[in-house]
Amino acid sequence: MWPRTVSPRKLRDALPDVSLRLESEQIKDDLQKLGIRFIGRRTKKSACFEIDMSPHHTLRITPVDRGIDQFAEWFSWYQETKEGREVVTTSIRCYATIKNNLDLKAPIYALTIHNDSMFDIIQCAIFNYKLFSGVEISPITTNKRNQSK
């Protein structure tokens, strides 16, 4: 007898390549909704998003976890109790690096971030970079009029 539902973990393990593509599309959609300028890249077993930051910086985000056959995984699932019932919640786990595109001798700042949304991940990276470097950065937004083309 087949189970009525397949857990996200079992589905990801059965189709790691499809899972990476779907999870990357979710991240891409989240970034587009934020209206920021970014470039997405994918290799066979991983992905990354490079976000243009002002002034002259790049925030690069990659999945931190590896699963079956070393395919990258953006999301973690965990169970928690809400209002007396068990629910599965997702969060994004990523490795973020920030580099100064003008000063090639400046150190590249790196950290691992675990949060519920891309907005919070970007804010966490910005906050920690300011503590590290003293430089305040912010994402460059897209021109909303050109997004529909």
3-state secondary structure the chain: CCCCCCCHHHHHHHCHHHHHHHHHHHHHHHHHHHCECEEEEECCCCEEEEEEEECCEEEEEEECEECHHHCEECEEEEEEEECCEEEEEEEEEEEEEEEECCCCCCCCEEEEEEECCHHHHHHHHHHHHHHHHCCCCEECECCHHHCCC
Q: What is the pLDDT of residue 12?
A: 86
- Residues 33-61 pLDDT 10s: 999 999 999 999 999 999 999 999 999 99
Instruction: Report pTM.
Output: 0.86
pLDDT at residue number 149: 34
